[in-house]
Amino acid sequence: MGLVAELDDAALLRAAAVGDAAAFEGLYERMAPMVLLRLRRRCPEADVVADVLQETFTAVWRSASSWDGRGDVGAWVWTIAARRLVDVYRRRTAAGSPVLRAIETNGAGAPAVASAEEQVMDGLLAGPLEAAMRSLSPELRGVLQATVLDGLSTREASVLLGIPEGTVKTRAMRARSVLRQALA
């Protein structure tokens, strides 16, 4: 495992693509905490997060050879995870099941305890900011979610959202402008 620790993410992914299980394990150890954190920000249900994490890395293992070498490996892995989570929500919507938030219930009918981060974000998004955020188009909200709340770079947000980097920058600038006007 010593040699694996010295390799960068791209080298680990390329090695995993040819079946190197140790390289894949190293990549998993590096990427799983970041993916887990981001999934938890978007989904309060631990079992769903665990399933999506497993599905994500199963897909990474199976499709490692499809990575074309462009962009950041972390952004590529996160894109897979985000799409898997969206698939879960789509299946629920199709089945008529509501998408739950952490502040609603914990699955057993009792109120869930929101994380400190969720409590802060809920406090920040209450009142005028919440109304201003709701006034944004889904495209503008998505860019702000990716770049501000998730802390993704422009390149990572571009990969995640499937839009060019220039479009990410333009939408972020437009979203901030709309928010400034709404909050003035």
Question: What are 123-158's pLDDT values in tens digits?
Answer: 545 567 777 877 888 899 888 888 877 667 788 788
Q: Given 3.30.70.2660, 3.40.50.2300, 1.10.10.10, 1.10.3470.10, which CATH number is that of 113-184? A: 1.10.10.10
What mean pLDDT do residues 58-78 have?
88
The CATH number of domain 1-102 is 2.60.34.30:
no
**What pLDDT, in 10s, does the model give residues 14-38?**
999 999 999 999 999 999 999 998 8
Cα separation, 21 vs 138, whole angstroms: 40
CA distances from 10 to 19, 38, 51 (A): 14, 21, 25
Establish how many alpha carbons lie within 13 A of residue 116's alpha carbon, considering only the half-sphere containing its beta carbon.
Answer: 0
What mean pLDDT do residues 108-128 have?
51
Contact 15, 64 (CB under 8 A): no
pLDDT > 70 fraction of the chain, expressed in percent and rounded: 77
| 120 vs 12, residue with greater confidence | 12
Taking only Cα atoms into account, the Rg of the chain, rounded to an integer number of angstroms, comes to: 18
Cα separation, 26 vs 63, whole angstroms: 17
Q: Which residues have CB under 8 Å from 100's CB, separation 6+?
A: 44, 45, 107
Could you state, in order of their start, the residue ranges of all structural domains in the chain?
1-102, 113-184
Q: Which residues have CB under 8 Å from 68's CB, separation 6+?
A: none
Cα separation, 58 vs 54, whole angstroms: 6
